[in-house]
Structure 1
Amino acid sequence: MSDDQEEVRLTLRLPAGLRDRLTWEASTSGRSLNGEMVYRLEKSLVDADQAEPAERVAELWQRIEKLEGDVEFFQNHFEMDLRRLEARFVDQQVELRILRDKD
């Protein structure tokens, strides 16, 4: 923590096992329990900030792949519907010619 940051007192409830582990980690790293907790919180935020762009890129690629699949699906259905409409149009033209020829 930098010297210019204001410190805030915080009452925190932790599971006893977690407190014990943090206490042990603090003693092996030469930090106080508070120092260990601040260190780990700051590190987790830095790690999250660094991982966030990579995770976001991976998420965007997944969305792009899904959208590509959706586009292909709708394109295939659109093409089938268009062929059906064209066939109906041709059938109606034939029927119209038959009706005209009868008259």
Structure 2
Amino acid sequence: MGDHEGVRITLRLPEGLRDQVRASSVETGRSLNAEIVARLEATFGSLENEDPQLEILHGYLEQAQKERGELVDALDNFERYLRGLADAHRTLAIMARTVGKVFLTDGVSSEVLKIMAAGLSQINIDVYPDPPKRRP
């Protein structure tokens, strides 16, 4: 182990894995033990010292998720607003049609009012429209 203080352990490896570690140790010029220690240190070191770029990307992901939630909320609010407008439109259309029918039945004296009443009485509306389709 050279400079390293260490504890001696007995390690059983599957034969294929032992052959892979041995081949790697030959490539790197290390002993079998040094290769195992280097790989363990690299594994545990990477867990303790996370890549700063990974932390930055994590921050971007969290921000994107937050903004997505805000957009979904804004779209829900806008959908409620549009439903309110559609309801108001239907109400006005019903009122206009009713006013037109009342003018026609009560006998309007002005030709312009008669034409307007005839037009208002023929307004077609869908009182119960299908709700808009939600996107996933």
TM-score, structure 1 length as denominator?
A: 0.58
Percent same amino acid at aligned positions?
A: 31
Q: Distance in 2 between matches of 1:7 and 1:68?
A: 50
Matches within 5 A, 1:14-53: 14-48=13-47, 49-51=49-51, 53=52
Structure 2 residue runs of 5 or longer lacking an equivalent are 92-136
Give the C-alpha shift of residue 6 in structure 1: 4.4
Q: Distance in 1 between matches of 2:57 and 2:2?
A: 34
Give the C-alpha shift of residue 34 in structure 1: 0.7
The 3 A distance-change label for structure 1 pair 2 and 57 is: farther
Q: Distance in 1 between matches of 2:68 and 2:28?
A: 51
Question: What count of residue pairs does the alignment treat as equivalent?
Answer: 86
Match of 1:97 in 2: none
Mark the structure with the bigger radius of gyration: 2
Matches within 5 A, 1:1-103: 3=3, 6-48=5-47, 49-51=49-51, 53-81=52-80, 84=84
The 3 A distance-change label for structure 1 pair 65 and 9 is: same
TM-score, structure 2 length as denominator?
A: 0.47
Give the C-alpha shift of residue 37 in structure 1: 0.7
Q: Distance in 2 between matches of 1:70 and 1:2?
A: 56
> Aligned letter for 1:14?
L
Using CA pairs under 8 Å that are at least 6 residues apart, name the structure with larger relative contact order, 1 or 2: 2
Q: Determine which structure has the larger helix proportion and give its number.
A: 1
> Aligned letter for 1:33?
L
Structure 1 residue runs of 5 or longer lacking an equivalent are 92-103
> Which contiguous aligned blocks of 4+ residues in structure 1 show a shift greater than 6 angstroms?
none
